[in-house]
């Protein structure tokens, strides 16, 4: 393909979305963990810790990806991500110890997917300086929709006695390795002549280095804001199926709702990107925050009233709300802090997932201690209200 071919960036967007569709399998954890609890008797908190570990390594892998992208190039970084992600799932497929699960799924796969995620997002976004919100949304949709597409396929394999969860893990590992290899072979960086969007953090109109970004009050307000908003979605994703069962849904409906949650997650990412480009980041971020408040409040009401209908509405809203977070993270970082140092700046900003996952683990512990979900969702509702205060102060400051 020639660099001046107008179709090239569309091809890269499709390729990047496909790669992230498979890589987003880490969000299908509520489905993948079910056979492990049944076979090994591991507790909910022990399995929740694996999700937290995966998110931690995913965020650290993103930072490593930003560094490796410069040092060894895009192809080398993606190849390393492919090897680590595939090896992690293959290692986990043969486990009999939870330590091996943590090492394979949590550490290796988490790091590998994090490396690939950063490389793909930063590379493809650079081809769309005029539509950074929509591009981010489409890429993030692929990543978020994985729980439905890959998760459903994995669930079918797990439920088939002739296949089982071990073979499902190997199939996921093979698919991950293959699709990331394709991305490494075909994906290319945008030419230097691509238009550059200027930063506007704290009234500055130049690209900010990561060190400069970290000194900005705008960064810390936005970072905490997204942490609190993402915590609502992260918590629900880690316990979605069990939560659906607790409000009265049948097992089949609960599994389907996990898929619907994934669809809403994906739709939220694309819609947020389009709204971001059309209405601007301030309006988009306030709307996302109000949606998170509504999601937490309605889900809490579903728990207190034991209402399946409210549970479905609450989880769908949670999916839409959670979908806003990664798109805002990517588009906000690019618009406010510039594109020159975007890979590392984005990796640092994306660490909000790490802290959000800690909150999700804390919520799981609260569930165990209180023998219910209501206290955890009161906490999440409180955090989403604090996020609104941060959002309003950020709106005035920026």
Residue 77 is assigned to a structural domain of this protein: yes
Closest among 381, 375, 351, 352 to 363, alpha carbons compared: 375
Residue 3 is assigned to a structural domain of this protein: no
Residue 95 is assigned to a structural domain of this protein: yes
With beta carbons less than 8 A apart as the criterion, state whether 313 and 305 touch. Answer: no
Residue 174 has pLDDT above 90, yes or no: yes
Residue 115 is assigned to a structural domain of this protein: yes
Residue 289 is assigned to a structural domain of this protein: yes
Sign for the pseudo-dihedral over CA of 204, 206, 207, 208: negative
Residue 241 has pLDDT above 80, yes or no: no
pLDDT, one tens digit per residue, over 157-172 is 998 889 999 999 999 9
With beta carbons less than 8 A apart as the criterion, state whether 302 and 247 touch. Answer: yes
Residue 222 is assigned to a structural domain of this protein: yes
pLDDT, one tens digit per residue, over 289-323 is 999 999 999 999 999 998 889 989 988 999 899 88
Residue 115, CA atoms < 13 Å, CB-side half-sphere: 33
157 token code pair: 């394999």
Q: Please indicate, yes or no, whether the overall pTM of this predicted structure exceeds 0.75.
A: yes
Highest mean pLDDT among 70-84, 200-214, 264-278: 70-84
Domain count, the chain: 1
With beta carbons less than 8 A apart as the criterion, state whether 20 and 177 touch. Answer: no
Structural domain harbouring 300: 8-397
Rounded mean pLDDT of the chain?
86
Closest among 98, 348, 363 to 220, alpha carbons compared: 348
231 token code pair: 């915590």
> Cα(317)–Cα(285) distance, rounded to whole angstroms?
16
Residue 1 is assigned to a structural domain of this protein: no
Query: Can you tell me the mean pLDDT for 44-62?
Result: 87
CATH number of the domain at 209, please.
1.20.1250.20
């Amino acid at each position: 393909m020639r660099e001046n071919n107008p179709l090239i960036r569309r091809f890269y967007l499709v390729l990047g979305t496909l790669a992230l569709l498979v890589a987003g399998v880490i969000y299908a954890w509520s489905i993948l963990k079910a056979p492990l609890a049944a076979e090994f008797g591991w507790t909910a908190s022990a399995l929740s810790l694996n999700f937290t570990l995966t998110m931690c390594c995913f965020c650290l892998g993103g930072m490593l990806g930003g560094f490796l992208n410069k040092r060894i190039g895009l192809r080398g970084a993606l190849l390393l991500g492919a090897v680590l992600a595939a090896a992690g799932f293959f290692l986990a497929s043969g486990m009999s110890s939870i330590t091996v699960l943590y090492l394979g799924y949590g550490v290796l796969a988490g790091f590998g997917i994090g490396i690939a995620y950063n490389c793909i997002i930063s590379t493809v976004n650079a081809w769309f300086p005029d539509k950074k919100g929509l591009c981010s949304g489409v890429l993030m949709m692929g990543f978020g929709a994985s729980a439905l597409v890959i998760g459903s396929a994995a669930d079918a394999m797990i439920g088939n006695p002739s296949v089982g969860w071990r073979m499902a893990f190997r199939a996921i590992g093979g698919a991950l390795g293959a699709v990331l290899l394709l991305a490494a072979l075909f994906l290319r960086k945008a030419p230097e002549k691509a238009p550059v969007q200027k930063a506007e953090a704290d009234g500055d109109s130049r690209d900010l280095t990561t060190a400069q970004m970290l000194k900005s009050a705008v960064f810390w307000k936005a970072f905490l804001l997204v942490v609190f908003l993402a915590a609502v979605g992260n918590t629900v994703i880690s316990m979605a199926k069990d939560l659906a069962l607790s409000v009265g849904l049948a097992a089949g409906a609960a599994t389907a709702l996990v898929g619907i949650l994934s669809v809403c997650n994906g739709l939220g990412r694309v819609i947020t990107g389009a709204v971001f480009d059309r209405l601007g980041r301030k309006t988009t971020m306030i709307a996302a925050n109000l949606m998170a408040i509504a999601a937490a409040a309605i889900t809490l009401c579903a728990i207190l009233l034991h209402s399946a209908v409210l549970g479905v509405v609450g989880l769908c809203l949670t999916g839409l709300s959670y979908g806003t977070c990664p798109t805002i993270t990517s588009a906000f970082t690019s618009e406010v802090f510039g594109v020159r140092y975007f890979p590392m700046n984005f990796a640092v900003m994306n660490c909000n997932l790490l802290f959000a996952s800690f909150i999700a683990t804390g919520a799981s512990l609260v569930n165990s201690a209180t023998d219910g979900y209501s206290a955890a969702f009161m906490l999440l509702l409180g955090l989403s209200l604090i996020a609104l205060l941060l959002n309003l102060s950020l709106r005035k400051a920026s």
